[in-house]
Amino acid sequence: MTLRALIFDLDGTLAETEEAHREAFNRSFADRGLGWHWGRDTYGRLLKTAGGKERLRAWQDGLPAGAPRLGDDEIAQLHQEKTARYGEILARGGLSLRPGVADLVAAAREAGLKLAVATTTSRRNVEALCRCCWRRPADAVFDAIASGDMVAAQKPAPDLYLLALDKLALPADHCLAFEDSLNGLLSARGAGLRVAMTASAYTRNEDHSAADWRLQGLETGPLPPVLRAALAG
């Protein structure tokens, strides 16, 4: 099989973004005077639900009976406010790529591989991360972007990776996925992809044994043999 493209998950894989997301959620709660606050332990549990709006609904479902609840339109509005806060955090340079990511992306581009993103977060947040960490628009870094606002079913459903493959116009067996979470692993495998895992701060205790490769980090390697061969040209 000739490797033709790398498909990267974004949150937790390209960068440790979830503390910035958590801060943005908490700021949007405070702005509205909701009296909600997500600590790390709570957020770690809520991260089992992919997608910020879906996560807000899962949070509400766990509130005591009789607690005030937001309707779907209010959830959508609150999530837009959260996304604005997240963009402000990244615009202040509040984030950097995980070690090894910039070098791998540059080496893959140099070797003629296509590069894609398959992420549950929004297209707007993909743009914010690329401008913050690469100082370039997302379309200048990646050949194809599949984001949560483009599909109906979030990870672990395969929809995002199937959309990335469609945008790349490549079959799954010519591509390699990089993920940090079990939801992402299941999504990529569901789309027929082989998966290299780099667990992140919030996913270190998950069971990633179904992955094809489990790396400590992209900078420590060893990279999957199929990728090493493609980079060697």
| Closest C-alpha among 177, 206, 213, 217 to residue 193 | 177
Residue 159: contacted member of ligand XBP, Mg ion, none (CB under 5 to 8 Å, by partner type): none
- The bridge status of strand 5-8 relative to strand 175-179 is parallel
Interface with ligand XBP includes 52 (CB under 6 A)?
A: yes
Residue ranges in 1-30 that form contacts with ligand XBP under rule CB under 6 A: 9-12, 18, 21
DSSP character for 178?
Answer: E
Residue among 89, 121, 141, 199 that touches ligand XBP (CB under 6 A): 121
Residue 121: contacted member of Mg ion, ligand XBP, none (CB under 5 to 8 Å, by partner type): ligand XBP
Interface with ligand XBP includes 97 (CB under 6 A)?
A: no
Interface with ligand XBP includes 181 (CB under 6 A)?
A: yes
Pure H helices in 93-211: 101-110, 123-133, 138-141, 159-168, 182-190
Cα dihedral sign, 129-132-137-139: negative
Residue ranges in contact with Mg ion by CB under 5 A: 9, 11-12, 180-181
Residue ranges in contact with ligand XBP by CB under 6 A: 9-12, 18, 21, 50-52, 83, 119-122, 125, 148, 155, 181, 184
